[in-house]
Structure 1
């Protein structure tokens, strides 16, 4: 169930990335946010019902809700024409929460690659906070490209690895993931600064 949800998170991140980069109209992207947001609320609810007193399962479901609510917030807000400040500040809450879930994966679950992936999501949602909550429109292109990198590297790729039973939680893969993440995040900064593309005055929403 988790791998299926992760795959479609990759899809909505991809759509929102190309939206931020000006290739998809915001209201068109909002539909995908509603689809995936609904799924990311239904799936953890099922997990919670089945979890009983399983703390690990409850923690996992709680993490999924963070993103499900983000997508619903974006989808509904965009279609209703609501200012994006609220989802921006909610993204700050998600960013801090993701650091905690990263620590859980590193020190409790011992799933080291997902410890790195949670940190990647924390950084991405912090960018959403800056872009939408603080209206830092000059970060639009950078945020769009970082979103695209996350769509491919932190959701779609691990989803297919999980679906094909090729995923490993070993520490060496976490190191590879971490190095690739840092290189991409750092390299995208000067590249997006050089484009000089004008950012929209009112970004429509994040992942």
Structure 2
């Protein structure tokens, strides 16, 4: 059941990323946040209620609330035109807790791929804190791209592979996720901050091709 919810976590992260990139109306995206937020509160409640004697299931399910409350908070905030600082500071709490859940997956649950995935989520929610809580608006495009990509890499694709029985060789998956995240997000940072942007490359090429003045000129 949790992996079905993960599929829609992927969808809402992708849509929120699209919204941050300015490609979709915030109020339209808000509705889907409410749908997924509600699902991500109902799902762990059912899982915990039916596995009260299973601390491992309770631990795994407890982290789902972090997402459910985030999406409900975002959806209500967008519809009500509320200031985003509350979501931003809650995102800091989520980012810190996600490190704990990463540790739990590595050391207690023996699930290294999701240990890495929780690090992905910690990074994304840290960006939400910086963007929404501290108002670092220059991070908008970068955060939008990270959210959209994580929607697929940490939500939709893992969920579909697990549900179809193709989630195998966890150590290789964890390593691939780690390498992908570092390479792609560093490259994205360089592009979105202008270092590798088309404008930046053009400016650099013009500077290189401009005639140089000598001391005699």
TM-score of the superposed pair, with normalisation by structure 1: 0.92
Q: Gaps (5+ residues) in structure 1?
A: 198-207
Alignment match, 1:37: 37
TM-score (norm 2): 0.88
1:112 equivalent in structure 2: 112
The Cα of 1:52 is off from its aligned counterpart by 1.1
Aligned-CA RMSD value: 1.4
Q: Indicate the structure whose relative CO is greater, using CA pairs within 8 Å and at least 6 residues apart.
A: 1
Contact 1:95 1:126 in 2 (8 A): yes
Q: Which has the larger radius of gyration?
A: 2
- How big is the shift at 1:11? 0.6
Q: What secondary structure does 2:24 align onto?
A: coil
CA gap 1:186/1:123 in 2 versus in 1, 3 angstroms: same
CA contact (8 A) 2:2 2:61 kept: no
Aligned residues: 197
Pairwise CA distance, 1:168:
2.6
- Alpha-carbon contact 1:40-1:68 (below 8 Å) kept: yes
Q: Report the CA distance between 1:163 and its aligned residue.
A: 1.1
Structure 2 unaligned regions, length at least 5:
200-217
More deviation, 112-121/55-64: 55-64
The answer for the alignment partner of 1:137 in structure 2 is 137
1:149 shift after superposition: 1.1
How far off is 1:60 after superposition? 1.3
The residue number in structure 2 matching 1:69 is: 69
Show the counterpart of 1:4.
4
Asked if structure 2 preserves the Cα contact closer than 8 Å seen for 1:116 and 1:174, the reply is yes
Distance 1:106 1:169 in 2: 15
- Show the counterpart of 2:156: 156
**Contact 1:111–1:169 (CA under 8 A) maintained in structure 2:** no
For the 8 Å contact 1:112–1:169, the answer to whether it is kept is no
CA distance in 2, matches of 1:65, 1:51: 16
Distance 1:102 1:80 in 2: 33
Deviations 1:45-68 (A, max 9, x none): 101110112111111121000000
**Which residue of structure 1 lines up, in the alignment, with residue 209 of structure 2?**
none
Contact 1:113 1:169 in 2 (8 A): no
Q: Per-residue deviation at 1:169? A: 5.8
